[in-house]
A = this chain, B = another copy of it.
Amino acid sequence: MNFGSDNCGPAPSEIIASIVEANKGYQSSYGSDSLMDEVKSHFKNLFEHPDLSVYLVATGTAANALSLACICPPWGTIFCHQESHIQVDECGAPEFFSGGAKLTLLEGHHGKIDPIKLSQTVANTGVLGVHNVQKGALALTNTTELGTVYTLAELNELTSIAKNNHMQTHLDGARFANALIKLGCSPADLSWKAGVDILTFGGTKNGLLGVEAVVIFDPKLAWEFELRRKRAGHLFSKHRYLSAQMLRYLSDGLWVRLAEKANQAARKLADGLAANPSAEIKHPVDANMIFVNLPRATHKKAFVNGAAYHLWPPNQSLGGDDQEPLLSRLVCNWFTTDTEINSLLAVVSSE
């Protein structure tokens, strides 16, 4: 009964097998391994974009912060949702990598930036010239941190505002696959065709050991990205082990199947919760995360019975009125079983 995060579960056997397979003989280092050549081809096909560049790093924070540093100068500001990972969960990595850029926080329901707020805020940025930080970059997240998925129309509206203001857009796709399934569109639709210039294409939350691809649709950014990656210690010498995982992930649709399993598990769990009058689901369950209000007593019982998940925000106390609803986050991943789901639902419905 672990719904704590999509980084707590194991990797699928195919991924482990790819590492075993890659561990043979000598290979060129630092990304010039032959497997990486195949990875590049896969990405160009997958995204229908022959001019893209793609680089692998091991963490989402590195992928996001390196990307943002390539599109926002030190004196720029990054427009992002106030609950975005780059603001809340990265210990200031975007500020570090960019050389001190600012993050301008935007509101919006269900983890999505309100386009009107974005328009107004951008319009008011930099109006006093050098006295202000300048319009820097737009940072989106899809699947959002609250488990919702921007539609293509919503994405296009936001990235158009960026483009009209001479800003580029980064998409944090730590859960890109989960969003793709929800929308039923192509990777191209969900990225460069929707105005995205640089993409964190997540692997870690969807089954890899620690591999994220940064997909760069603007060729002018590629060399700077390479230098920043090396300078930040994110270029792997034994790069083949990253390449192998990503290659296997992309082959025969594994990456999509893994995310489908996670989304389906979340759908099943959400449906079960919705049948329970004491549970109130806060945000649309578009992907693999459920934000649900449950009575404090239910949480206590769940934890006693071995369930692992976070109250939201985390680190809240369990002391207080047993009937008071407390928000929690339940995350499913490819490894989530029906048994786990049913066990949790049993706890909740026994309330």
The A interface is mostly helix, strand or loop, or mixed, namely: loop
Contact with B along A203-220 (1 / 0, CB 8 A): 011000110000000000
B residues near A350, Cβ cutoff 8 Å: none
B residues near A77, Cβ cutoff 8 Å: 92
* Chain B residue with the shortest CB-CB distance to A2: B26
A276 within 8 A of B: no
Within the complex, which residue of B88, B92, B98, B129 is in contact with A75, where a contact is CB–CB below 8 Å? B92
B residues near A231, Cβ cutoff 8 Å: 74-75, 90-93, 96, 130
When the two chains form their complex, are residues B237 and A131 in contact, meaning their CB atoms are under 8 A apart? no
What size tier do the contact residues of chain A reach?
35 or more
Distance between A129 CB and nearest chain B CB, rounded to angstroms: 8
When the two chains form their complex, are residues B75 and A227 in contact, meaning their CB atoms are under 8 A apart? yes
Of A4-12, A109-117, A182-190, A318-326, the segment with at least 4 beta carbons within 8 Å of chain B is A4-12
B residues near A119, Cβ cutoff 8 Å: none
A314 within 8 A of B: yes
Distance between A106 CB and nearest chain B CB, rounded to angstroms: 13
When the two chains form their complex, are residues B127 and A313 in contact, meaning their CB atoms are under 8 A apart? yes
A164 within 8 A of B: no
A152 within 8 A of B: no
A313 to B95, CA, bound (A): 27
A315 within 8 A of B: yes
When the two chains form their complex, are residues A100 and B89 in contact, meaning their CB atoms are under 8 A apart? no
* Chain B residue with the shortest CB-CB distance to A13: B23
* Chain B residue with the shortest CB-CB distance to A237: B7
When the two chains form their complex, are residues B26 and A230 in contact, meaning their CB atoms are under 8 A apart? no
When the two chains form their complex, are residues B61 and A233 in contact, meaning their CB atoms are under 8 A apart? yes
A149 within 8 A of B: no
When the two chains form their complex, are residues A26 and B8 in contact, meaning their CB atoms are under 8 A apart? yes
A59 within 8 A of B: yes
> Which of chain A's residues 234-258 have a Cβ closer than 8 Å to chain B?
234-238, 241
Would you list the 8 A-B pairs with minimal beta carbon distance, nearest first? A62-B233, A95-B100, A7-B237, A61-B233, A130-B230, A2-B26, A91-B231, A91-B230
26 A-B pairs (CB sep. < 8 Å): A7-B30, A8-B26, A16-B23, A20-B20, A30-B130, A58-B210, A59-B237, A61-B233, A74-B92, A75-B227, A77-B92, A91-B230, A93-B231, A93-B232, A93-B233, A95-B101, A97-B233, A129-B226, A130-B227, A130-B235, A204-B238, A210-B236, A210-B238, A210-B241, A232-B233, A233-B234
